[in-house]
Structure 1
């Protein structure tokens, strides 16, 4: 029986964070800094710079995400945190048009990135990461969680295009569609203050 656990990303788990990010796809080069920078700033950075920026963020805290472990091996990552700190969101016009939440409200959190190592894809790990992320946000005082997933409409897509997560994963976790950024890219919301629930963990 496979055992899945999740832990918040502290500097003591830095090597595990890196193992989760570097299992295929863009995680190794992105270092999950893409949501934190505007396009003009992102274009000026290199992978070593992003790695250092990410490490400094983890050191400074609070934890910017969680690591998932499969039988003790770091296998996946999710970024979640207060939306105002994720600069790309607050400077993306389509999100600004779709959201109903104040941009400067730290009680509004956002899920902006999933990474799963290649050998663990297709096992339901994103659902486990999302459930743990919701619990983390709730325990940290979040009022609302937003996300910007991909509606695959049942079609297979490149894993690199799915780092936002899929609509089905979020709907199964109790999120509700509240707007659309563009065709195939809804804005979804979980209202923690209203008692919305992330549901039960998904076994793999």
Structure 2
């Protein structure tokens, strides 16, 4: 299997990964950390998809997609932390004043999990951040110590996934997800 990573610019492919089955449903669309909480709560149904379509036209894009034989099979959200909810999140600390990028969602479609796609997505997210001059990249995965993480909560990744990609723990957080503490993992890109 040759996984191809591309910037997320195709609405149909992004919708296949993070959009709802029904257009009027209020699913995340990977907006909950990307935009301010108040704005996120005000967007309903098809407004959410329309907002994502607008984000896909921006430079830099809001994330990356993984493809297997042309089929979209994975998504990772990556963007400058200053443009996300993590800029003001009181539970996730700032390590320093650098203009770091955040990776907050890694999603692989059912039927494609267990094939290393999350590793390819994380590497692709790092590459996108590096391409745009990010001095460092952060993720906020669960520190699950090898225990099973509920699939609906696994979108943040695990500490091991980030360690395997060269990230190191930079700080503890006050955030807990699925009963596991989240840690701030960081990869300095050495501009």
Q: TM-score range by the shorter chain?
A: 0.7 to 0.9
Distance 2:90 2:169 in 1: 18
Q: Is the 8 A contact 1:178 1:188 kept in 2?
A: yes
In 1, Cα distance between equivalents of 2:88 and 2:47? 22
Indicate if the aligned counterparts of 2:119 and 2:161 stay in contact, CA closer than 8 A. Answer: yes
**Which structure shows the bigger proportion of residues in helix conformation?**
1
> Taking structure 1 as reference, are residues 23 and 127 closer, same or farther at Cα in structure 2, changes over 3 Å only?
farther
> Deviation at 1:147?
1.0
Query: Structure 2-normalised TM-score?
Result: 0.87
Gaps in structure 1 of 5+ consecutive residues: 195-204
Corresponding residue of 2:165:
173
- In the TM superposition, residue 45 of structure 1 has moved relative to its aligned partner by 2.2
Do 2:34 and 2:83's aligned partners in 1 also have CA atoms closer than 8 Å? Answer: yes
**Partner residue, 1:101:** 96
Q: CA deviation at 1:23?
A: 8.7
Per-residue deviation, 1:22: 4.6
Report the count of equivalent residues: 182
Q: Which moved more, 1:32-41 or 1:56-65?
A: 32-41
Q: TM-score, normalised by structure 1?
A: 0.82
Alignment of 1:1-204 (within 5 A): 2-10=1-9, 13-22=10-19, 29-86=27-84, 88-95=85-92, 98-102=93-97, 105=98, 107-182=99-174, 184-193=181-190
> Alpha-carbon deviation of 1:3?
1.6
CA contact (8 A) 2:35 2:83 kept: no
The Cα RMSD (Å) is: 1.9
Kindly report structure 1 stretches of 4+ aligned residues shifted beyond 2 Å.
20-24, 37-45
